[in-house]
Structure 1
């Protein structure tokens, strides 16, 4: 890819996620009220409505739940033909990302994947996934 991906939009609720990504760590919010993980980051727990939360480091391993290859004009910093996936993370939550290092026709449901981090603008890193090395 010739251009870096754009920097993410940072909010009060997502800043911890992007700071962890700079350290090449995949994290999620854990509600301190009910103990459930949630992704994407948000101000209130959708299960118990608590606003108390903590950061949980994730394994970065998961399986493909579903995938699609969008067909619209290329956005600067994004490859043409990128695969958008929903990943079932090992910790029991889902995450939307891109799947790299594989052809679209080779992707399968429940394929094992692992996270890696790609440089983005302004010093940020973006969590992406690729087929897991066995």
Structure 2
């Protein structure tokens, strides 16, 4: 069904991110270098987007997240912004909250409110080793 696959992927990705952030916070003492590699550089490389995404560097998009690792919150349905609202985290008390998100240097999310949509299709770059 067109559109449904993306909804499912979005829901799954948000669950994984919440779970990973919560588990990492509780179980490990991790540095920002490790978190950056796990949540940014690694996925960008895996998806063929290295050189544009996954690092704070010259010629990379300025995609950044301002995250408060100490803020506690309870997950409520109104916080879920993708079409598929079902989440195993509803009613759970978590900590570590995104305060703001910047996409290509433009603020697109701040304290629970979204700015204008700025998404665009990303295409993979392939190196000789990947082909």
TM-score (norm 1): 0.25
Greater RCO (CA < 8 Å, at least 6 residues apart): 1
More helix by share: 2
More strand by share: 1
